[in-house]
Structure 1
Amino acid sequence: MSLQYSFEITPNIDQDNLAGLLKLHPQFISITDRNHDMDNLIQSLKIADYANAHSDVDVMIHLTGIDKDYATVKQMVDLMLTHNINDVLALRGDKLSQNDSAITFSHADELVEFIKQEYPHVNITGTCYLNSSDEEMHWLKHKVSKGCTNLISQFSFNVNDYVDYLNQTDITTPIWFGIMPVISKTQTQKMLDLTHATTPDELTSLMNASEEEFGEKGVKYTVGMINELKQVGADHINLYSLNDAENTKKIIEQI
């Protein structure tokens, strides 16, 4: 199977970059749920309307559960359907400060199950985590059994994390491996600090380059990761586009 790729974008993307990304013909674009509210969804639906009008690219919208009740989820999914959105990335979302007893969807599998029961025709994607424990793999299988038909992984800057996961999992559900492009030294350092991700020697050396040198070398590093993944059997890539069509195009043209 040839490599398929998708792009993640945020709702504040401008039209030029959105149009540029759509011209690269991804399998789908997914739109993050940054503010977890109706205003955020309405902005995402404007993007979806543009994509539907100007391309044949499918649109997936992120939906968190921990901050919503049954009625709110139904209201949001109903609105998505009126805009011809049939693909949802179901997430738990960040924990809230309130007591768990007040939360309707404490875990992503509960949100998946509810959406699948209420909307059997909606395609539900879930998330998975590299370097998963046995317990995490158990709950991932549980989430798949509730209705997830695709999975998107967290990102890593170390290709070995993806390879190890491929060797570890026996799940047959398609996994879109999340790739964070290395195109900005400042942004990459921020992600390294935020995630405490493993830093391979090649990336450590790259981080010593100037910001001016970093861009092209970073694109090469990202392309190298994706091509290594292809060689070991990965056939689905979810690229965090950073709303940047130009650099995303450079990556896609070299894989």
Structure 2
Amino acid sequence: MSIANLFQKQSTVFSFEVFPPKRNSPIDTIYKTLDELQDLKPDFISVTYNAGGSGDPAKQPTCEIASIIKEKYGIPPLAHLTCVNSTREEISIVLDELKAKGVEDILALRGDINPDVPPKTDFAHASDLITFIKGQSGFSLSGACYPEGHCECADVVSDIHNLRKKVDAGAKHLISQLFFDNSAFYSFVERARIAGIDVPIEAGIMPVVNKNQIERMVSLCGASLPPKFTKMISRYDGHPEALRDAGIAYAVDQIVDLISNGVDGIHLYTMNNPYVARKISESISSLRTV
């Protein structure tokens, strides 16, 4: 069953994102994280892809970790795949590897542009990658979306137009970038539905557990910070345990509101932190069954 089909089986899909270990760490260091996440019974787990101009696409750990999630843990995997630093030939190598490992679901992304690595020219946009993969049988495709608009896009109307291209190209499911103001997400979903985008849209939630994390993520994605959130950060800055717990509580509050308003799914950016994932999962466990 493709991940897109999960949304036909239950009211709120609940999923996690993990990332591969650092290059100098053995891949089996991810097992401890996955061991604990498995107990939380996510509907699927996505695995990020770190191209970064690093070379051989066949050596990317995403394929292996996605295979481990499926074969060892019995959880559907969603493999991220970025294209900004890849040629068609390199993407084909990764697709062959995913197919060989039985991984059928791909989150197709353009990827961040590295100022130190000139982008390649085969794929300008994620929609180009989706079109390319769609031409090869055996994969179900997901795409990313941006509740407050992509930081490189002129306005939210243009952003929705670009998102429609992804869906028209073959994306059957969307995962949102992180956000801290649910009203921004609801407005985005309304714009998407008016534009005829009728695929499931998962809300991407990142629990903020330290100040450096939020500064880094906001600089990358440009998410706005509502007063309630900034007051929390200011109040507990310098108190790591208190800020961690406050960040978990803020994320739970977001999720409760989203589920109450009928969100298609919640995609939790775990940052490979099982403790945070467990605290949030336990807080909303009864909501997932209603």
Report the TM-score, using the length of structure 1 for normalisation. Answer: 0.91
Q: Which digits, 9 at most, give the CA deviation of each residue in 1:189-241, with x for residues without a partner? A: 43344444322222122112122211222111100001111122212111101
Q: Residue 113 of structure 1 corresponds to which residue in structure 2?
A: 131
The 10-residue stretch of structure 1 (173-182 or 33-42) with the greater mean CA deviation from structure 2: 33-42
Q: Does 1:239 align with 2:268?
A: yes
Report how many aligned residue pairs link the two structures. Answer: 253
Q: 1:188 Cα deviation (Å)?
A: 2.7
Determine the structure 2 residue equivalent to 1:125.
142
Q: Distance in 1 between matches of 2:112 and 2:241?
A: 35
C-alpha separation between the residues in 1 aligned to 2:90 and 2:118?
A: 19
Aligned mates of 1:40, 1:184 — CA distance in 2:
34
SS of equivalent residue, structure 1 residue 124: strand
Q: Which blocks of at least 5 consecutive residues in structure 1 are unaligned?
A: none
Q: Are 1:52 and 2:78 an aligned pair?
A: no
Aligned to 2:163: 140
Match of residue 2 from structure 1: 11
The residue aligned with 2:30 is: 14
Q: Distance in 2 between matches of 1:194 and 1:117?
A: 31
Report whether the alignment pairs 1:184 with 2:213: no
Q: State the alpha-carbon separation in 2 of the partners of residues 10 and 165 from structure 1.
A: 27
| 1:66 alignment counterpart | 84
Are 2:218 and 1:201 aligned? no
Q: Go from structure 1 to structure 2 and tell me whether the alpha carbon gap of 1:157 and 1:81 turns closer, same or farther (over 3 Å shift).
A: same
Once residues 192 and 143 of structure 1 are traced to their aligned partners in structure 2, the CA distance between those partners, rounded to angstroms, is 24
Cα deviation 1:26-49 (Å, max 9, x = unaligned): 121111112355468542233223
Change (3 A) 1:54 1:169: same
The amino acid that maps onto 2:48 is T
Residue aligned with 1:178, SS: strand
CA separation of 1:62 and 1:54: change in aligned 2, threshold 3 A? same
Give unmatched runs, 5+ long, in structure 2: 1-9, 22-28, 150-155, 285-290
Equivalent-residue separation in structure 2 for 1:107 and 1:234 (angstroms): 27
List per-residue Cα deviations over 1:60-113 (Å, max 9, x = no partner): 11111121122111111011111110111111122366887x600111111101
Contact in 2 for aligned 1:33/1:40 (Cα 8 Å): no
Aligned partners of 1:66 and 1:92 also within 8 Å: yes
* One of 187, 191, 196 as aligned partner of 1:168: 191
Q: CA deviation at 1:145?
A: 1.0
Overall identity of the aligned pairs, in % = 30
Correspondence for 1:28: 44
Aligned residue identity for 2:223? A
Q: Deviations over 1:157-188 (max 9, x none)?
A: 22221122122221210111111112234323
Classify 1:128/1:196 alpha carbon distance in 2 versus 1 (closer, same or farther; 3 Å).
Answer: closer
Mapped to 2, the partners of 1:150 and 1:232 lie a distance apart of 19
The DSSP-based 3-state class of the residue aligned with 1:118 is coil
CA 1:181–1:96: 2 relative to 1, 3 Å? closer
Query: Is the partner of 1:11 in helix, strand or coil?
Result: coil
| 2:48/2:79 contact within 8 Å kept | yes
- Mapping of residues 65-84 of structure 1, within 5 Å: 65-84=83-102
Match for 1:159 among 173, 182, 186? 182
The normalised TM-score by structure 2 is 0.80
Kept after mapping to 1: 8 A contact 2:58/2:93: no
Decide whether aligned partners of structure 1 residues 138 and 26 sit closer, same or farther in structure 2, where only a CA change above 3 A counts. same
Which of 241, 251, 254 in structure 1 is aligned with 2:280? 251
* Matching residue of 1:214: 243
